[in-house]
Amino acid sequence: MKFKLPKLLGLFSLLSGFLLALTCKRAPLTSAEKEAIINKKVDSLLAKMTLDEKIGQMSQVRHFDSIGENGVAEKFIGSIIHTDGPIPGETALEWQEKFIKLQKQALSTRLGIPLLFAVDAVHGQNTFEGATIFPHNIGLGATGNPDLVKKAAEITAIESQATGFNWVFSPCIAIPYNEKWGRVYEAFSESTETTNELTKASVQGHQGNLSDKSTVMATAKHFVGDGSTDFGVEGGTTSLTMEKVREQLLPPYQAAIDAGVGSVMVGFNSFEGIPLHAHKKLVTDVLKNEMGFDGIVVSDWMGYSKYGRNKVVNAGVDMLMAVDGDLEKFQKGVKLGIKKDTVSMDRIDDAVRRILRQKFRLGLFKNPFPDSTLIAKIGSQSHRDVARQAVRESLVLLKNKNNILPIAKHKTIAVVGEHANSSGLQSGGWTISWQGSAKNYEGATTILEGIQKLSTGKVIYDEKGTDKKSKADVAIIVVGEQPYAEFFGDIGHSSNNLKLTLTKEHQQYIKNYTSQGIPTVVVLISGRPLVVTRQINQSDAFVAAWLPGSEGDGIAEVLFGEYDFTGKLPHSWPKFAKDYQTNKFGPNFWDDNLTPLFPLGFGLSYK
């Protein structure tokens, strides 16, 4: 059979095209194309959902809440959190197995929508004993090192995934105005510019390529003005003008949004006489519409019943932390609101669309279960090396009279104070338990252990600072605050007797050694700058060590001169306690009428 030339050419062209299609790969999808596919999937799924399923997706409960054995499936729960209380198991594998069981229950429902598992991993996976615990954010702020902050967030993501979580409530990007606030240490700095830079790094580190098994969804919190309340009251009134809010407080949120942050948590505080949970102008008009946030707005603890019930939903909060009996109130309340037309279906659909979108972005529909191979990385040496670097770079040298530092390793050293030998005390709140504790925890190295490890001379431990005839060549006196979290850390709160000064006992530790003429190095462990003007004057050297976390040996490395001091103050340092009595914003760089003892950015070095 004979073919004419045009037909032969046509067949050749067809064959060439076929062979080309076999050998050429399609160009990778662009971000816009990926988002278009996700949005199409979200719309398709949303169209199939009943009202009960939608309200269920907006519900977040604890893994140990009493919602019935099959409650996750029956109530179509959208998210599980782990907070203070019963732990999921003794080992990381048991934690994973507990969450896998709950995930399978969610996947057994009609539409098989996977769960989000959330945890307050604010300085490492700090709810799991044996994890790597980093300095709290105030210490990371002192490093001024965005690359290091990003690495810390990457490690936190890995160790959070290794224990079964795909969502963390971090970073806190508040701008603290008053050291009386019990959450100062959760924020990076009183500087908006520093906070912007480190916020971006933290979000990028946590989220990375969001669908990878070693990354998690991050949360910027607490929107907005949580650290800028009058007199530093947790959940108090933010009396700044809207102009100041836009100038000083909103930029870190824009930085987080630009970095792709998946969720934002609203604060307990009020602004313009309205709780932030119910502040539609800020949550919907500003955050979502003006700033372009397309992720999940999540409430804080029992935010639904505390702050106006359906007013919270109407304000733009998408997922409700419905704990301690709040779940039934929320689910029934929203359903009634729909029936009475006080809550619109458009608002519900917006909330669910945002939740589903993040679940698709995380890749949970394809890979809903944690990766057991990550467990071996929890508390690994490479992770602890990064945390120890963070400790070293966070230390701020405030005084070094006659160059007493660095200390020669062969000298006889007295190490003084209970804070020197307690990983719990050196780590502060949000460590293993919500309020922290004075106990040592697995895998951590205390400051004393770090000194003992590096010293070639004699190390004497004086826990109570009572040695009146010390034979030490130099004393390292470690003093500071007891652990606290949230309103329990507010100075002046009825639940505690916290002050902005050291306790009498800790002041006596310093007096006892300086009165003997022994060269004295004071290491302050605190979640905020304290009024220690007298103690700085008494000592030969003074170091602000913040809350360093699990790697206390990082402090010893710098004291012995293996590394130099590079940390700079993330807050201006107060001079007098009386400055806080009438000044609601505290004696920081927001107040031109008060001169701090040390300005923002101060820090000495050996050079």
pLDDT at residue 18 tops 60: no
Is 481 among the residues known to form the active site?
no
Q: What's the whole-number mean pLDDT along residues 435-456?
A: 98
pLDDT at residue 554 tops 70: yes
Q: Residue 264 and residue 95: Cα distance in Å, rounded?
A: 26
Q: Residue 596 and residue 565: Cα distance in Å, rounded?
A: 21
Structural domains in the chain, CATH included, are 120-376 (3.20.20.300), 395-582 (3.40.50.1700)
Is 476 within 8 Å of 415 (Cβ atoms)?
yes
pLDDT tens, position by position, 181-221:
999 999 999 999 999 999 999 999 999 999 899 999 999 99
**Strand ordering across the sheet containing 167-168:** 167-168, 116-119, 79-82, 59-62, 320-321
pLDDT tens, position by position, 402-443:
999 999 999 999 999 999 999 999 999 999 999 999 999 999
Torsions phi, psi of 116, nearest 5? -95, 135
- The number of residues making up the chain comes to 607
Q: Residue 410 and residue 458: Cα distance in Å, rounded?
A: 8
Torsions phi, psi of 265, nearest 5? -100, 135
pLDDT band at 13 (very low <50, low <70, confident <90, very high): low
Per DSSP (E only), the strands in 481-603 are 520-525, 541-546
pLDDT band at 2 (very low <50, low <70, confident <90, very high): very low
Closest alpha carbon to 61 in 356, 331, 366: 331
Computed from CA positions of residues 331, 334, 338, 340, in that sequence, does the dihedral angle turn out positive or negative?
A: positive
Closest alpha carbon to 57 in 42, 68, 38: 42
Residues 6+ apart with CB under 8 A from 542: 397, 398, 399, 521, 522, 524, 532, 535, 536
pLDDT at 22: 44
Higher pLDDT, 139 or 586: 139
pLDDT at 581: 77
Quote the tokens at residue 401: 């009279």
pLDDT at 590: 64
pLDDT at 360: 98
Question: In the chain, what percentage of residues exceed pLDDT 70?
Answer: 95
pLDDT at residue 319 tops 70: yes
pLDDT band at 31 (very low <50, low <70, confident <90, very high): confident
Per DSSP (E only), the strands in 352-502 are 396-400, 413-416, 459-462, 474-480
Residues 6+ apart with CB under 8 A from 289: none
Quote the tokens at residue 58: 């907006």
Catalytic residue chosen out of the listed positions 120, 159, 300, 557: 300
Quote the tokens at residue 425: 């005390």
pLDDT band at 589 (very low <50, low <70, confident <90, very high): low
585 vs 173, 178, 190, 273, 389, CA distance in Å? 18, 5, 11, 18, 33
pLDDT at 434: 97
Residue pointed to by tokens 């700095």: 189
pLDDT band at 24 (very low <50, low <70, confident <90, very high): low
pLDDT tens, position by position, 532-545:
999 999 999 999 99
Higher pLDDT, 423 or 16: 423
Q: What is the pTM of this model?
A: 0.94
pLDDT at residue 332 tops 90: yes
Is 84 among the residues known to form the active site?
no
pLDDT at residue 23 tops 70: no
pLDDT tens, position by position, 491-508:
988 888 899 999 999 999
pLDDT band at 369 (very low <50, low <70, confident <90, very high): very high
pLDDT tens, position by position, 221-252:
999 999 999 999 999 999 999 999 999 999 99
Is 298 within 8 Å of 278 (Cβ atoms)?
no
pLDDT band at 488 (very low <50, low <70, confident <90, very high): very high
pLDDT band at 25 (very low <50, low <70, confident <90, very high): low
What is the rounded average pLDDT for all residues in the chain?
94
**DSSP letter assigned to residue 476:** E
Quote the tokens at residue 386: 């990064």
Q: What's the whole-number mean pLDDT along residues 595-599?
A: 92
137 vs 145, 153, 483, 597, CA distance in Å? 12, 11, 15, 22
**DSSP letter assigned to residue 217:** B
How many other CB atoms sit within 10 Å of the CB of residue 377? 17
Closest alpha carbon to 537 in 520, 525, 561: 520
pLDDT at residue 3 tops 70: no
The residue type at 450: G
pLDDT band at 81 (very low <50, low <70, confident <90, very high): very high
Computed from CA positions of residues 552, 556, 561, 567, in that sequence, does the dihedral angle turn out positive or negative?
A: positive
Quote the tokens at residue 483: 């652990």
| Radius of gyration (C-alpha) of the chain in whole angstroms | 27
Q: Residue 364 and residue 595: Cα distance in Å, rounded?
A: 52
Burial, 331: exposed, middle or buried (Cβ in 10 Å; 0-12, 13-18, 19+)?
A: buried
Catalytic residue chosen out of the listed positions 53, 190, 234, 486: 486
Q: What's the whole-number mean pLDDT along residues 252-273?
A: 98
401 vs 309, 470, 473, 525, 567, CA distance in Å? 58, 21, 16, 20, 18
